Amino acid sequence: MPLLAIPFPMIDPVAVSIGPFAIRWYALSYVTSLILGWWLARTLCRHEELWGRTPPLDDRGTDDFLLYMAVGIVLGGRLGYVLFYNPAYYLSNPLEALALWHGGMSFHGGLIGCILALWVLARRNGRSIFELFDLAAAVTPIGLFFGRIANFVNGELWGRVADVPWAMVFPDAGPEPRHPSQLYQAALEGALTFAILMLVVRAGGLKRPGLVSGVFLVLYGTFRIVGEHFRQPDAHIGFLAGGLTMGMLLSLPMILLGAAFLWRARKVAA
C-alpha cells in the first residue's frame, strides 16, 4: 500500500442484523432521506409567507407527496439504471431488472420518475407543476447527501487513481489509492446544493414558480460534471467520446432544462 494512502474504514454495510433479517446502511439512507424530505416539505408548506400565496399542499398533501416521490425515485431510478448503464445485460437477463436488492440505481432515472409522479400529483391537486417541482428540488439534496454517504460506506462508486494525501485504497478497487469521490459528491450535490437552495427559498424563491427547481437543476448538473472528473466510470461503460462519462452526458440536458426554468421564472411576477 502506498505510504500516503489512507486505508478505507471497513464499515459493515449491514447496520442492524437480527437473525436472517438485515437492515443495510443503504436502505437506511433511503428511509432517512424520505423522512427528512417529508418533514422539510411539510415545514415549507406550513409557511405561506415563503410562497406569497396559498402553499401547494396541506399536511395530507405532503403525505401524498412523500409517497409519489418514493415511487418515482425507486421505479425511475431502477429503470434509468437498466436503460442508461447496462441495457445489454438486462436485455439478456430481464428478471434481474426486478432484483433491486442487487443494487443499481440511477439519479437521472429517478429524476425522470419524480417528474412523472409529480405531474400526476399536480393534476390531482389542481396545482402548478412548477410549484411541486420547486418543493421537490428543495428536499432532494437531502437524499443525494445520504445516498453518497451510503455509497462510501459500501465502498462502491469509488474515484479515479490519485496521489492526494487523502486518497484511499478501496477494498474492491485494487491496490492504487483513489479519490473518495463519493464524499466529494456528498459535499457538492448534497450539502452545498442544499445550503444554496435554502438561501434561495429564504430570499423568496418559492414566490416565482420554477426558480428553485431551475437553480437545483443547474447546480446538480454542474456539480455532477465536476464530480465525474474524480469518479471512476463504470467498468462496463468506461469513457465515452471526448473523455466524457455517462454521468456527464446525462447532466448536460439538466443544466439546459434548469436554464429554461430560470428563464421562465424571471417572467413570473413575484
pLDDT 10s digits, 152-161: 998 888 999 9
Tens digit of each residue's pLDDT (9 = 90 or more) over 85-102: 777 777 777 777 666 655
- The total of structural domains in the chain comes to 1
214 or 173, higher pLDDT: 214
Q: Is residue 17 part of a domain?
A: no
Count of C-beta atoms within a 10 Å radius of residue 5: 19
CA angle 252, 182, 196 (to 5 degrees): 60
Is 39 inside any structural domain? yes
Q: Is residue 69 part of a domain?
A: yes
Q: Is residue 16 part of a domain?
A: no
Which contiguous run of DSSP H or E holds residue 153? helix 129-154
Does any domain span residue 174? yes
Is residue 13 one of the residues assigned to a domain?
Answer: no
Do the domain assignments include residue 19?
Answer: no
Enter the C-alpha cell of residue 164. 492526494
- Domain-located, residue 9: no
Judge if pTM exceeds 0.75: yes
For residue 85, which of 115, 113, 105 has the smallest C-alpha distance?
A: 105
Task: State mean pLDDT over 46-73.
Answer: 93
Specify the range with the lowest mean pLDDT, choosing from 1-5, 81-85, 135-139, 234-238. Answer: 1-5
For residues 41 and 13, the answer to whether their CB atoms sit within 8 Å is: no
Across all residues in the chain, what is the average pLDDT?
89
Residues in a beta bridge with 161: 178
Give the range of the structural domain holding residue 46, as residue numbers without chain letter. Answer: 27-265
